[in-house]
Amino acid sequence: MSSPDTIHLNQSGPTEFIFRMFSSSPKVQALLFCFFLFLYIMILCGNTAIIWVVYTHISLHTSMYFFLSNLSFLEICYTTALVPLMLSNITEARKPITLAGCATQLFFFATLGSTDCFLLTVMAYDRYVAICHPLQYTLIMTPKLCTQMVAGSLGLALSLSLPLTSLVFTLPFCGHLLEVNHFFCDIPPVLHLACADTRVPQAVLYVISMIVLTAPFLIICISYVFITITILQIPSAEGRQRAFSTCSSHLTVVFLQYGCGSLVYFRPPSTTPADEDWHLALVYTFVTPLLNPIIYTLRNKDVKNALKKVMSKKDSL
């Protein structure tokens, strides 16, 4: 009897993958397609609005908003690497993806997701300097340093994602057409389809997850310990509230991003229900990229004021 994760095991030809169906009901498929398409459009519009507002308003040309606009750009690229293919597989007959196509999607997912985590760490450092060393802020957070930190985040992510992707896709896969128990090519479900010992790739994945998730999260926590101590020493209640409000937006995104990532990549594969990983993946594919612009817009007076100016200009035309 064949495994539920393999289809046409004995067929010859190049290895291809198909993704798990969300539902077999055409009505449910149509509803899901419309719902996910709506979320995707909102992600694109919200993050594009953040980039445009930061770019067009001189008052927002600071390191904090430079990092925010880069985070929004990452979210656009990140969701675009996953969602269009996912949408095409909801309503149409499931189209196979080639081994190279699956490897490419996994590489972009890992690279952009890792860069996102490193950039959130950079943003925590930016808040630490702004609150704990306000007089030296402009001297420390120069445009050159900010650009180097963003480039360094991307470079580190590339250096981790490329060997991991190569290691996963040099494994042999059993069969011609394999079903990935997911809606995109993520590492754990792809490793599950390999017909070879996966202990080495699993160990490498664990180490890289420590570098991408645990180390940055510890740095963020340490930064916010110093930030909290400094904020509590601010004499005025209004000053403390404003400082906490600035940090709360960032912390909300951090806990969503790192919480979901840790639940997926730090549990032993044998104790990880496939459906649970599937649901968590929907959170960091749709919820986090959608919440980023909403959180930073609603809880940031500078961005709200800039958006209000834009809307008032449009109304006056």
pLDDT tens figures, 125-148 = 998 998 899 899 999 999 999 999
Instruction: Find out whether 252 and 295 touch, Cβ atoms under 8 Å.
Output: yes
The DSSP element (H or E) to which 17 belongs, if any, is strand 16-19
In sequence order, the 6+-apart residues with CB closer than 8 A to the CB of 143 are 63, 66
Residue type, 132: C
Q: What is the pLDDT of residues 54-103, one digit of tens each?
A: 888 887 788 888 998 999 999 999 999 999 988 988 876 678 889 999 99
Whether residue 8 is predicted with pLDDT greater than 70 in this model: the reply is no
Across the chain, mean pLDDT equals: 83
What domains are defined for the chain? Answer: 19-316 (1.20.1070.10)
d(CA 289, CA 186): 18
**Mind spelling out the 3-state secondary structure of 156-220?**
HHHHHHHHHHHHHHCCCECCCEEEECCCCCCHHHHHCCECCCCHHHHHHHHHHHHHHHHHHHHHH
Given a contact cutoff of 8 angstroms between Cβ atoms, the answer to whether 161 and 118 are in contact is: no
At residue 97, φ and ψ (nearest 5 deg) are -115, 135
Placement of tokens 């149509």 in the chain: 30
Structure tokens at 246: 């600035």
Question: Across residues 90-119, what is the average pLDDT?
Answer: 89
* CA proximity to 121, closest of 221, 198, 189, 206: 221
12, pLDDT greater than 70: no
With beta carbons less than 8 A apart as the criterion, state whether 293 and 49 touch: yes
| Neighbour order of strands in the sheet with 16-19 | 6-7, 177-180, 16-19, 97-98
pLDDT at residue 312, as a whole number: 65
209, 266 Cβ separation under 8 angstroms = yes
Whether residue 316 is predicted with pLDDT greater than 70 in this model: the reply is no
Residues 307, 297: Cα–Cα separation, whole Å? 9
CA distance 100 to 16: 9
Over 90: is that where the pLDDT of 122 sits? yes
Confidence of residue 238 (pLDDT cuts 50, 70, 90): confident
